[in-house]
């Protein structure tokens, strides 16, 4: 077979294959059904929800502050003298009871002054009695000669009698002062307390008004807590939010000696003015007998405080992300799979979120995730977070 014949046969085969392919494609195209146009289904927006529980809830307000004593005074003498005795408790950190003798000043000079004052009183009493007798005798003599007239004051020696009486009263006052100064040779504790500092010792000469020690009361301790004005609505502050002398109960806690210790306290008052810079109210919590247990609630200790306020009968807590603008919450109806707007009343925030006092019912599902576009009553898909619990 020649070369030309081979080329001719190959051309015929190629044309045959093309014809067969075109014919087959035409048949396939003719048997294929036309694709109908369809609108794609838009997916519903997905939201995350939590299920809320309503019930009685007591408002607890938190604060912090430093402990300070109810009383702190300087121990000062009222007389001059040499110190002859110092109590063992009169040292920095020493504890004492009310009425304990903390320091004694040499009493001999003051005992002598008492003795001299007694003698002068005796003398003044004698002069006064003598003046009384002379006045009575002069009056009797006058009446014998002038029975129808009262004796003149000078005749019965009224000026002399008054002077003798005044002298007696003055000497009695001097005796009282001498005895008082003798009592002041012993400095006693005015309350139960502890010594913060002292700078006196035996043999030291002291003068009136000289500071010998700083004493703090241990009968009670106070903590001042700054709180916002809105917080005061939720608990009783005597003479501020209530006429009752009993304020709200409180619990004071601190880490002392490596462990957490708690003390029971009570709100006793609000300080006299609002802080002009922060606009906060300084509320005072008092703890009775802070040294009754060990370790004690010492002055200067930094503490945390929980104040127990009013109780809301039907309250719930929602995450902060669940509250929308205008005090609105999105609630999902699981049966309808629809989202609804709900107006709520926010009582106050706490460490778990926001306390709602009205607007939500028990077991309702609240949306906590954001949506770019939302409308009241829109269809949604939902999934519960944290097992439906906050």
pLDDT, position 351: 84
pLDDT, position 176: 95
pLDDT, position 388: 40
Tokens of 315: 């309250």
Kindly give the parts of the chain with pLDDT less than 70: 1-11, 13-14, 19, 21-22, 24-42, 147, 155-156, 386-390
Give the contacts of 334 (CB within 8 A, at least 6 positions apart): 365, 382
CB-CB contact of 304 with 225 (8 Å): no
pLDDT, position 275: 85
Tokens of 330: 């999105």
pLDDT, position 36: 62
pLDDT, position 360: 92
Angle at 228 between CA 225 and CA 231, to 5 degrees: 95
CB-CB contact of 106 with 82 (8 Å): yes
**Residues 216-273 pLDDT 10s:** 999 999 999 999 988 999 999 998 988 888 999 999 999 988 889 999 999 999 988 8
* Alpha carbon distance 362, 53 (integer Å): 5
């Amino acid at each position: 077979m020649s070369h030309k014949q081979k080329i001719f046969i190959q051309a015929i085969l190629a044309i045959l294959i093309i014809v067969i392919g075109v014919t087959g494609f035409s048949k396939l195209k003719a048997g294929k059904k036309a694709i109908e146009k369809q609108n794609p289904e838009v997916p519903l927006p997905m939201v995350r929800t939590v299920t809320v529980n309503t019930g009685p809830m007591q408002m607890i307000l938190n604060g912090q502050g430093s402990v300070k004593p109810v009383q702190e005074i300087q121990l000062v003498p009222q007389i001059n003298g040499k110190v002859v005795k110092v109590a063992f408790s009169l040292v920095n950190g020493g504890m004492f009871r009310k009425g304990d003798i903390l320091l004694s000043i040499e009493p001999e000079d003051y005992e002598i002054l008492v003795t001299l004052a007694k003698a002068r009183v005796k003398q003044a009493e004698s002069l006064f009695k003598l003046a009384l007798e002379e006045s009575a005798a002069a009056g009797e003599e006058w009446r014998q000669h002038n029975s129808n007239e009262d004796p003149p004051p000078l005749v019965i020696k009224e000026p002399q009698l008054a002077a003798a009486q005044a002298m007696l009263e003055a000497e009695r006052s001097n005796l009282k002062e001498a005895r008082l100064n003798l009592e002041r040779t012993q400095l006693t504790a005015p309350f139960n307390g502890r010594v913060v500092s002292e700078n006196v010792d035996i043999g030291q000469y002291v003068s009136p008004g000289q500071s010998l020690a700083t004493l703090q009361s241990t009968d009670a301790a106070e903590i001042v807590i700054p709180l916002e004005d809105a917080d005061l609505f939720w608990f009783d502050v005597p003479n501020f939010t209530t006429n009752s002398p009993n304020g709200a109960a409180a619990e004071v806690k601190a880490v002392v000696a490596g462990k957490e210790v708690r003390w029971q306290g009570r709100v006793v008052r609000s300080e006299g003015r609002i802080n002009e810079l922060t606009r906060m109210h300084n509320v005072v919590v008092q703890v009775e007998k802070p040294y009754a247990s060990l370790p004690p609630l010492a002055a200067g200790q930094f503490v945390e405080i929980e104040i127990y306020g009013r109780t809301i009968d039907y309250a719930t807590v929602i995450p902060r992300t669940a509250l929308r603008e205008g005090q609105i919450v999105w609630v999902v109806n699981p049966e309808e799979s629809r989202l609804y707007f709900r107006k709520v009343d926010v009582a106050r925030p706490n460490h778990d979120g926001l306390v709602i006092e009205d607007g939500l019912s028990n077991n309702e599902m609240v949306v906590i995730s954001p949506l770019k576009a939302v409308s009241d009553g829109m269809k949604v898909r939902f999934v519960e977070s944290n097992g439906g619990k906050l």
